[in-house]
Chain A
Amino acid sequence: MVTRLLNSFAQIRNTKVASAVRNTLTLLFPIMLLGSFADVIKFAFLTKTGYMAQMFGITSWLPYSRELGWVMEVIFHCTIDMIALYAAYGIAYFTAKEYKKDGGSAGAIGLLSFLIISYQPTEDGLPNFSRFFMSQGMLIALIIGYLCGRLWVSFDNSKIQQRYKIIIPVLIVLLVSAILNLAGLFVVKLEIPTYVASFVTEHSPFNSLVYVLGMGFLTDLLSWMAVGGPFSNNPTFNDAPSMANMNAALKAGSSWNVPYKFTDTTLFHSFANFGGSGVMIALIIAILIFSKKNRNRNVAKWSIFPAVFNSHYSMMLGIPVLFNPVFLVPFLITPLFNMIVAAIFILLHWMPVAAYPVPSGAPGPLIAFIGTNGNWITLALGAILLVLDVLIYMPFVKLSDRISQKAGDINEN
């Protein structure tokens, strides 16, 4: 049974699509890794409201912190914030390569198509792109890029005249993308986080618990597929339930009795998002302890710094966790497990609820600790959950090692 599973996983790994995706992710990894360093440095260290800046007052004593922050922000916006662009190029390039065709042209077409789809016209005519596609739409970019690559390949194989061979695929891509851009307008208008927040205030605690668990699950599932989910990466503290909680806590002097006990802030961000989606920091620890694969160990070591401040992008691409069926199960189970345990603790009144504001980029296990104004039980629970999460990830890390052996990744060691 296990061997059969291993074989089929290994087979999937060796298909053309999977290999193109893997090559693309490898291409994106350094961009993402350095981008996430810039992200963390900018938002946790050099932004006045960031965690490290708040804790150590970095912005007030570090010379040139504004300028440094500026540089980091530029890097962040041009790497992580636009990662889908690189993905569209990369997948089209590698798809064409898989079919032994000219990759550069295919990549350019993929890039063109994605640019057209995500472009949002502004009144002053400056380039402006839909956030939904640019920073959260990597899956869409991969699909589009793959299709462009295939289109290029099939035209290259066809017998039409040479001078049309280049023009026609570009024309098709242009037209279809422009139409998709129009359709995309409707998707962007949905304000999902607002609905999430208002659901919590309008329903009974039990309903909202189920809802938060479901939405957390969905967020993780979507982020495994490289799409932005209903919950944002960091707790925002400006949605209606969080604000009501904070005011109630300030009034009462403690956060034991607040109106909304089960929200994305109190459960998802406080307990299910250590190191980013899927309790990524647990995977890093599990890899460092149990994995024998040098490549993964290297990626994990590089990712420690960003992951401490909840930036999980480099792990997602480096291992990769994205689209990786091996890690799907623990990636979904660990956050869910954490949220349920935390909900039980809150329900039984064993710990207060995270209601006070937490600076952005606070290390995962510390979010609930700060959010409860330093409740030790909360911190202990976070630490215990982290250990359990590492144990949940352990068998999957070992499985992943065995699969790569099976698939014969000679060049990956």
Chain B
Amino acid sequence: MKINHWFWTILGIALSVTLIFVSLNWSHQNTTELAKIHNSKLSPVIMIPGSSASVNRFDTLVDKLNKNNKHPHSLIKIRVTTDDKLHISGRLRRGDNEPVIVVGFENNHDGYDNIKKQAKWFNTAFKFLTRQYNFNNFKAIGHSNGGLIYTAFLENYYSEYSEQVKIKQLMTIGSPYNFNEKSVRHKTQMLSDFIDDRDKIPSSLSVYSVAGTETYNSDGLVPLGSVMAGKYIYQGQVKHFTSISVSGSDAQHSDLPQNDQIIDLINRYILDPKQRPQQRQGAISLDGQ
């Protein structure tokens, strides 16, 4: 009986020691591997609405994205007031690796001066987000002037983060790169500035510029020529530049964020490919991504 006890105790200790060393070895390997990839699983989609729009601008879009989705995207909204303060609502749902974060501004007016200010406010919000969620890559969507704010942000502020946080894709929807000018023969100050600083835009980025067309040359508000002027900024500078025009229902400028074709494009080009659902609470994916 006594011998039996000793046998089991020794066996237990031997097994524990084995497990400890196997675990140690595994943990070192896994951590090195992870550090190498250093690819955060959290990869938010950060959206900026256009002028005169609030942080609620993309609610319908997110609802449509989440429809029939077993792992819905969380929706976090950040409103930046003119005194640089952030007002946050919504929370990150557990297990959601791809939240939608909408950054809106108290001063949401049109005009180049305002866009410069909004880019600065966006930078404040972005700095907070990188600290709060510690992600290292993200996707960007800007509707209307939101696309211009993104362009201004990429040219003036992004270099500060480019080491740690990678912007994977940018989609601008109906963004008037040349404001209301139909032709690039009349370049606005903003477009000239954007073109001058285009070399600061990261070359690994893929850009999709989507234009709505209600008539043959306008989405009812923004001239097609102004949207297409984006190519003078991005084409040749970024990895891919794709321009797409959509027509049919919901192709009017302010309907674009809920246009089903555009939602399809977002699903296809901007969001990460769907992951297989997890098997058990607690099961984690360790094979890279």
| Residue A50 at the chain B interface, CB threshold 8 Å | yes
| Residues in B neighbouring A201, C-beta threshold 8 A | 132
| Residue A208 at the chain B interface, CB threshold 8 Å | no
Expressed in whole angstroms, the minimum distance between the Cβ of B28 and any Cβ of chain A is 6
| Residue A217 at the chain B interface, CB threshold 8 Å | no
Q: Mark A357-393, 1 if CB is under 8 A from B, else 0.
A: 1011111001001100110000100000000000000
Beta-carbon contact of A370 and B27 below 8 Å: yes
Expressed in whole angstroms, the minimum distance between the Cβ of B30 and any Cβ of chain A is 7
| Residues in A neighbouring B164, C-beta threshold 8 A | 251
| Residues in B neighbouring A356, C-beta threshold 8 A | 27, 30-31, 34
Give Cα A43 to B35, complex, Å.
26
Beta-carbon contact of B284 and A237 below 8 Å: yes
Q: Which residue of B lies closest to A247 (CB)?
A: B134
Give Cα A240 to B22, complex, Å.
29
| Residues in A neighbouring B128, C-beta threshold 8 A | none
| Residues in B neighbouring A195, C-beta threshold 8 A | 91
Interface residues of A in 312-356 (CB under 8 A from B): 356
How many B residues touch the partner, as a band? 35 or more
| Residue B97 at the chain A interface, CB threshold 8 Å | yes
Which of A101-109, A138-146, A174-182, A227-235 binds B?
A: A227-235
Q: Which of B35, B38, B93, B281 contacts A234 (CB 8 A)?
A: B281
| Residues in A neighbouring B93, C-beta threshold 8 A | 191, 194
Beta-carbon contact of A54 and B286 below 8 Å: yes
Known A-B contacts A194-B93, A243-B134; the reply to A236 vs B26 at CB < 8 A is no
Beta-carbon contact of A250 and B286 below 8 Å: no
Interface residues of B in 103-160 (CB under 8 A from A): 131-136
Known A-B contacts A363-B19, A374-B24; the reply to A236 vs B286 at CB < 8 A is no
Q: Mark B156-197, 1 if CB is under 8 A from A, else 0.
A: 000000001000000000000000000000000000000000
| Residue B279 at the chain A interface, CB threshold 8 Å | yes
| Residues in A neighbouring B285, C-beta threshold 8 A | 49
Give Cα A235 to B157, complex, Å.
37
Known A-B contacts A54-B26, A369-B24, A370-B23; the reply to A238 vs B284 at CB < 8 A is yes
Interface residues of A in 55-108 (CB under 8 A from B): 55-56
Beta-carbon contact of B94 and A238 below 8 Å: yes
Beta-carbon contact of B284 and A240 below 8 Å: no
Q: Which residue of B lies closest to A243 (CB)?
A: B42
Known A-B contacts A55-B26, A250-B34; the reply to A243 vs B282 at CB < 8 A is no
Beta-carbon contact of A43 and B23 below 8 Å: no
| Residues in A neighbouring B286, C-beta threshold 8 A | 49, 54, 357, 359
Beta-carbon contact of A259 and B134 below 8 Å: yes
Beta-carbon contact of B27 and A238 below 8 Å: no
| Residues in B neighbouring A363, C-beta threshold 8 A | 19
Q: Which of A197, A247, A374, A379 contacts B136 (CB 8 A)?
A: A247
Give Cα A235 to B94, complex, Å.
12
Q: Which residue of B lies closest to A39 (CB)?
A: B280
Give Cα A48 to B41, complex, Å.
18
| Residue A193 at the chain B interface, CB threshold 8 Å | yes
Beta-carbon contact of B281 and A236 below 8 Å: yes
Known A-B contacts A250-B38, A357-B34, A370-B23; the reply to A197 vs B92 at CB < 8 A is yes
Beta-carbon contact of B23 and A194 below 8 Å: no
Beta-carbon contact of B41 and A232 below 8 Å: no
Q: Which of B27, B131, B283 contacts A374 (CB 8 A)?
A: B27
Beta-carbon contact of A236 and B284 below 8 Å: yes
Expressed in whole angstroms, the minimum distance between the Cβ of B26 and any Cβ of chain A is 6
Q: Which of B91, B136, B282 contacts A235 (CB 8 A)?
A: B282
| Residues in A neighbouring B279, C-beta threshold 8 A | 43, 47
Beta-carbon contact of B287 and A232 below 8 Å: no
Q: Mark A235-258, 1 if CB is under 8 A from B, else 0.
A: 111111001101110110100000
Q: Which residue of A lies closest to B97 (CB)?
A: A238
Greatest chain A CB density within 10 A among B27, B28, B93 is at B27
| Residues in B neighbouring A357, C-beta threshold 8 A | 30, 34, 284, 286
Give Cα A140 to B34, complex, Å.
43
| Residues in B neighbouring A244, C-beta threshold 8 A | 132-134
Q: Which residue of B lies closest to A370 (CB)?
A: B27
| Residue A198 at the chain B interface, CB threshold 8 Å | yes
Known A-B contacts A54-B26, A247-B135, A374-B24; the reply to A193 vs B283 at CB < 8 A is no
Beta-carbon contact of A240 and B19 below 8 Å: no
Q: Which residue of A lies closest to B21 (CB)?
A: A374
Expressed in whole angstroms, the minimum distance between the Cβ of A404 and any Cβ of chain B is 23
Beta-carbon contact of A43 and B284 below 8 Å: no
Interface residues of A in 194-220 (CB under 8 A from B): 194-195, 197-198, 201
Beta-carbon contact of B22 and A56 below 8 Å: yes
| Residue B244 at the chain A interface, CB threshold 8 Å | no
Q: Mark B1-45, 1 if CB is under 8 A from A, else 0.
A: 000000000000000000110111011101100110010111000
Known A-B contacts A247-B136, A253-B35, A366-B23; the reply to A359 vs B284 at CB < 8 A is yes
Expressed in whole angstroms, the minimum distance between the Cβ of A307 and any Cβ of chain B is 13
| Residues in A neighbouring B23, C-beta threshold 8 A | 55, 362, 366, 369-370, 374
Beta-carbon contact of B20 and A369 below 8 Å: yes
| Residues in B neighbouring A194, C-beta threshold 8 A | 91-94
Q: Which residue of B lies closest to A356 (CB)?
A: B31
| Residues in A neighbouring B136, C-beta threshold 8 A | 247
Expressed in whole angstroms, the minimum distance between the Cβ of B97 and any Cβ of chain A is 7
| Residues in B neighbouring A248, C-beta threshold 8 A | 134
| Residues in B neighbouring A55, C-beta threshold 8 A | 19, 22-23, 26
| Residue B248 at the chain A interface, CB threshold 8 Å | no
Give Cα A191 to B132, complex, Å.
21
Expressed in whole angstroms, the minimum distance between the Cβ of B100 and any Cβ of chain A is 14
| Residues in A neighbouring B20, C-beta threshold 8 A | 366, 369, 379
| Residue B95 at the chain A interface, CB threshold 8 Å | yes
Known A-B contacts A55-B22, A359-B286, A366-B23; the reply to A236 vs B38 at CB < 8 A is no
| Residues in B neighbouring A232, C-beta threshold 8 A | 281-282
Q: List 11 A-B contacts (CB under 8 A).
A: A47-B283, A50-B283, A194-B94, A232-B281, A233-B282, A234-B281, A239-B92, A244-B132, A247-B135, A356-B34, A369-B20
Known: A197-B92, A234-B281, A359-B284. 16 other contacts (CB 8 A): A55-B23, A194-B92, A195-B91, A238-B96, A238-B97, A238-B284, A250-B35, A259-B131, A259-B134, A356-B27, A357-B34, A366-B19, A369-B23, A370-B23, A370-B26, A370-B27
Top 5 A-B pairs, shortest CB-CB distance: A234-B282, A247-B134, A244-B134, A360-B282, A198-B91
